[in-house]
Amino acid sequence: MQEWFESVAASFERAFITGDRWKIYLAGLGITVEVSFFAAILGLLIGTLLAFMKMSVGKDGRRTPWSIIANIYIDIIRGTPVVLQLLIMYFIVFTFSRNAVMIAIITFGINSGAYVAEIVRAGVLAVDKGQTEAGRSLGLSQAQTMLYIVIPQAVKNILPPMGNEFIILLKETAIVGYVGLTDLTRAANQVSSRTYEPFMPLIGAAIIYFSMIKVLTILLGKLERKLRASDNR
C-alpha cells in the first residue's frame, strides 16, 4: 500500500510540480473560463433577441418574418453538433482571422443563443396571461407591459435553467482544442504527452472541472431556494 501511495505521489509531482506544469493547467483553465464567460454573455443577448423574435405575431395573429427567421436559426443550430459549428467558423467563416479565442467565443455564443432563446421564451410564456391583460388595462403599451410586468416575473423562471445552460457551456468548451486553443482539457493532454502518464493529468483536469461545476451547482441551488422563498411570501 505504501508503494502505491508513493507511486501516486510521484505521478502527481511529474504531472503538476515538475517544470512548473501546474502553470499549463492554470493557463488552460483561464482559456476555459474566458471562452465560457463571454460566450454566455453573447448567448444571453442572442437568445433574448431570438426569443422575442420567435414570439412576435402580426395583427392578424400570424407568424411574422422575424418569427420564421428565429425558428430557422434555432432549428439549424440545435440540429448540428457544436464541434462542427466550431470547425465551420474557424476554417470557413473566419478564414481571414486566426484569433481562436474570439472565434470560439462567437461560436459558442451563437450555439448557446439557440438554447437560451427557448429558455427565455418558456419563461415569458409561463407568466400568467392575466398579468399582460392587467398591464394593458392600466394603460400600458405592449412593450411597457412586457418590460415592467412580464419580464420581472419571467426572470424567476429563467434564472435556474440559465444556470444549467452555463454549466453545459462550460463543459462543451472542452472541444476548443480542435482549433488550436490550449484549454484545460488540451493542457491535460499536453502534460500527458510529456510525462507518458495519462492517468494523473486527465484525472486532475476532471477534478478541476468537477470542482467548478459543483460550486456552480451549489450556488444555483441557493438561488433556486431564494426564488422559491420569495414566491411563498
Whole-number pLDDT of residue 232: 58
Q: How many domains does the chain have?
A: 1
pLDDT, position 37: 95
Strand-pairing partners, residue 63, are 57
Q: Are 124 and 154 in contact (CB under 8 A)?
A: yes
Q: Tell me: the pLDDT tens digits for 46-66?
A: 999 999 899 887 777 678 889
Please report the pLDDT score of residue 91 as a whole number. Answer: 93
Q: Please report the pLDDT score of residue 205 as a whole number.
A: 94
Residue 131 contacts residue 184 (beta carbons within 8 Å): no
Name the residue among 157, 161, 162 with its Cα closest to residue 127: 157
At 110 the pLDDT is: 96
pLDDT digits (tens, 9 = 90+) for 207-225: 999 999 999 999 888 887 8
pTM equals 0.89
Is the pLDDT assigned to residue 186 strictly greater than 90?
A: yes
Please give the pLDDT value at position 127.
80
CATH number, domain containing residue 177: 1.10.3720.10
Q: Hey, what amino acid is at 61? A: G
pLDDT value of residue 188: 93
Give the DSSP per-residue string, the chain: -HHHHHHHHHHHIIIIIGGGTHHHHHHHHHHHHHHHHHHHHHHHHHHHHHHHHHH-B-TTSPBPHHHHHHHHHHHHHHTS-HHHHHHHIIIIITTT---HHHHHHHHHHHHHHHHHHHHHHHHHHTS-HHHHHHHHHTT--HHHHIIIIIHHHHHHHHHHHHHHHHHHHHHHGGGGGGGT---HHHHHHHHHHHHT--HHHHHHHHHHHHHHHHHHHHHHHHHHHHHHHHHT-
Q: Cα separation of 49 and 86, whole Å?
A: 22
125 vs 129: CA distance, rounded Å:
8
pLDDT at 231: 61
Please give the average per-residue pLDDT across 2-20, as a whole number: 82
pLDDT digits (tens, 9 = 90+) for 97-133: 889 999 999 999 999 999 999 999 988 888 877 777 7
Handedness of CA 33, 36, 38, 44 (dihedral sign): negative
Over residues 56-93, the pLDDT tens digits come to: 877 776 788 899 999 999 999 999 999 999 999 999 99
With 60 as the cut, is the pLDDT of residue 233 above it? no
| Residue 69: predicted pLDDT | 94
Q: What confidence score (pLDDT) does residue 230 get? A: 64
Residue range(s) defining the domain that contains residue 98:
2-231
- Per-residue pLDDT tens digits for 144-183: 777 777 887 888 888 888 988 999 999 999 999 999 899 9
Residue 70 CB-half CA count within 13 A = 23
Gap between the Cα atoms of 89 and 215, Å rounded: 32
